[in-house]
Amino acid sequence: MHFFLSILLLITPFHVEQLLKKGEISEVEEECKGLEDESFFMGEINFFKKDFNSAFSLYSKLPITSPYANDALFKMLIIKEINKESLEFYADAELAVFMGESDKGIKYIQEGISRDSSTYSYAAFLLSMAYEKKNDIVMATQVLLDAVQLEPKNLFAPYLLRRAGILCVRMGRYDDARDVYEKLCASFPSSVLVPVVRNKIKQLP
Q: Average pLDDT for residues 109-121, to the nearest whole number?
A: 95
- What does the mean pLDDT of the chain come to? 90
Give per-residue pLDDT as tens, 21-35.
777 777 878 888 788
Do the beta carbons of residue 38 and residue 28 sit within 8 Å? Answer: no
Domain span at residue 112 reads 83-135
Angle at 33 between CA 31 and CA 36, to 5 degrees: 110
CA-nearest of 138, 147, 145, 136 to 102 is 136
Is residue 110 scored above 90 in pLDDT?
yes
- Count of domains observed in the chain: 3
The predicted structure's pLDDT at residue 4: 32
Q: Average pLDDT for residues 127-139, to the nearest whole number?
A: 96
The predicted structure's pLDDT at residue 7: 34
- Per the model's pLDDT, the better-predicted residue between 39 and 33 turns out to be 39
Q: CB atoms < 10 A from the CB of 44, how many?
A: 27
Distance between CA atoms of 98 and 42, rounded to whole angstroms?
A: 16
The predicted structure's pLDDT at residue 13: 75
pTM of the model: 0.89
Same domain? For 31 and 98 the reply is no
User: How big is the chain, counted in residues?
Assistant: 205
Largest CA distance in the chain: 50
Q: CB atoms < 10 A from the CB of 54, how many?
A: 15
Q: Average pLDDT for residues 195-202, to the nearest whole number?
A: 97
The predicted structure's pLDDT at residue 62: 93
Same domain? For 176 and 153 the reply is yes
Q: Average pLDDT for residues 44-51, to the nearest whole number?
A: 93
Same domain? For 173 and 162 the reply is yes
Same domain? For 69 and 102 the reply is no
Which of 22-26, 64-68, 93-97 shows the lowest mean pLDDT across its residues? 22-26
Which of 33-37, 58-62, 137-141, 147-151 shows the lowest mean pLDDT across its residues? 33-37
Same domain? For 168 and 205 the reply is yes
Domain end among 111, 135, 159? 135
